[in-house]
Chains A and B, each alone.
Chain A
Amino acid sequence: MSLFRLINKSFLLALRSRRRFWMFTLAYALLLGFSSVFMDRAIAVNFALGVDTTMAIIAITVSALISMLYANIIVTYRKMEIATLKCIGWKNDHIRILISGEIMAVTLLAFFFVVEAFFHYTAISAYALSADISNPPFTDAIVLVQFWPIAATFGIMLGVQIAGILIANDKILKIRPIQALQKM
């Protein structure tokens, strides 16, 4: 019960952070989109070392770095809030769930944006190509990326969030409840 409530509240807190949340969601969406495209192409060449595979690796590495940056920013920004929550009886585990949820919320929303964008791309391409060509649509032309490379990239990106979550955990442990009493 409390686990679901904390996850729910972490999403609420993330959404209400507005500018920070949307900025990072946009960054993740772009990275996820690019990674998916390169992943799709890398799969076609059986991950042979080339531009596509290298770009996919770079995009995933950058997303891991952004995850760490985001985790760092969240914990720094919420330092006083974390100290206050510890002061009123929250355990480290509760705060970990809250912060991890906030980190995951960004990735989840970015995933939905990317899927939505690729659906629209497909729809628009199908419409445009169907209008000019009476033959059945050319799948390769209208489907930029298959769904499963996006899902695979999303899975990898969720995995690289662990780096961010580990950094957040480390910082959370260092915040002492007594800091809530420090005068601002």
Chain B
Amino acid sequence: MPDIMLKAENVNKDHKRAGEIIRALINVNLEVYAGEVVSIQGPTACGKTTLLNVLSGLDTPDDGKVFLDGENISRASETRLSAIRSQKVGFVFQDFNLIDTLTAIENVEALLWPTPLHSKDIEKRALAALRDVNLLDRKDHTPRQLSGGEKSRVAVARAIIHQPRVLFADEPTGNLDPDSGNALMDLLVKLNKDYKTTVVVVTHDEKIANKYGKKRVRMERGAIVSTT
């Protein structure tokens, strides 16, 4: 039996908007094993992104516990959470969030700039990550010179440069055409196979969730309604 990589225990989270309290997560329980590809799917505003935020340590639950690689992160300090994010977690954002003034390789390297690693080692790792996503030939291009699909691959390279235990992707195919979207998901699945990285993908797209999620979590109105 593989280790439990992520665990949510009775997690509740409320959002306050315009004086109204919205229950974003209601008594959520979830276990994700190491090396799994999990899709979290559901309609808009059902709490998918909130769950991803809580699982990845970007947000804290109001109630309940979250464990990442065995460590309770639900009440961890911001400094500890930063350390966890830089060592164990990779993120792929919907808009990819690349820095426009940096080249593709610099965007990938940026994650390791604050570390004590030697610049040559950082460059080697960035080149290896770009090779993994098949984008070495575009390493000196800025995001403006890259297509949407290429940007997504740079974002994935940045997310894997530190060889994270878990890779979180928030609607990664949301801004891509179907072919580029499928290519990106194929890449995430390949990385999962090659490096045994646990992948958690949030998507509203049922086709993507069914095709790529080995474990499929369906959410509605802040609660998990099915796990298959």
Whether B93 pairs with A181 at a CB distance below 8 angstroms is: yes
How many chain A residues have a CB neighbour from B under 8 Å? 26
Instruction: Report yes or no: A180 in contact with B97, Cβ–Cβ below 8 A.
Output: yes
C-alpha spacing A5/B82, complex, angstroms: 19
Q: At the interface, yes or no: B226 with Cβ under 8 Å from chain A?
A: no
> Contact: A5 with B113, CB < 8 Å?
yes
Q: Does B228 contact A (CB under 8 A)?
A: no
Asked if B26 CB lies within 8 Å of chain A CBs, one says: no
Asked if A171 is at the interface of the complex by the 8 Å CB criterion, the answer is: no
CA distance A9 to B119 in the complex (A): 12
A87-B58 CB under 8 A given contacts A178-B53, A181-B53, A183-B95: yes
Contact A180–B114 (Cβ < 8 Å): no
Please measure, in the bound complex, the distance between the C-alpha atom of A80 and the C-alpha atom of B82, giving whole angstroms.
17
Contact B110 A85 (CB under 8 A): yes
Answer whether residue A137 sits at the interface, using C-beta atoms and an 8 A cutoff: no
> Cβ of A6 and Cβ of B114 under 8 Å apart?
yes
B22 interface hit (Cβ, 8 Å): no
| A27: Cβ under 8 A from any B Cβ | no
- Whether the Cβ atoms of B58 and A178 lie closer than 8 Å is yes
Q: How far is the CA of A5 from the CA of B115 in the complex (A)?
A: 10
* Shortest Cβ distance from residue B26 to the other chain A in the assembled complex, whole angstroms: 20
Q: Which of A81, A91, A183 contacts B99 (CB 8 A)?
A: A81
- How long is the Cα–Cα vector from A2 to B94 in the complex, in angstroms? 29
- Decide yes or no: A89 and B83 within 8 Å by CB, A16-B101, A181-B58 being known contacts: yes
Q: 1/0 contact trace for B46-61 toward A, CB 8 Å?
A: 0001001100001100
Query: Which residues on the B side are within 8 Å of A17 (C-beta)?
Result: 101
Nearest chain B residue, comparing its CB with the CB of A89: B86
CA distance A83 to B118 in the complex (A): 25
Residues on B close to A: CB < 8 A? 49, 52-53, 58-59, 78-79, 82-87, 89-91, 93-95, 97, 99, 101-102, 110-111, 113-116, 118-119, 158-159, 162, 170
Across the A-B interface, the 10 shortest Cβ-Cβ residue pairs: A89-B86, A16-B101, A89-B85, A94-B114, A84-B97, A178-B58, A91-B82, A88-B111, A2-B114, A184-B95
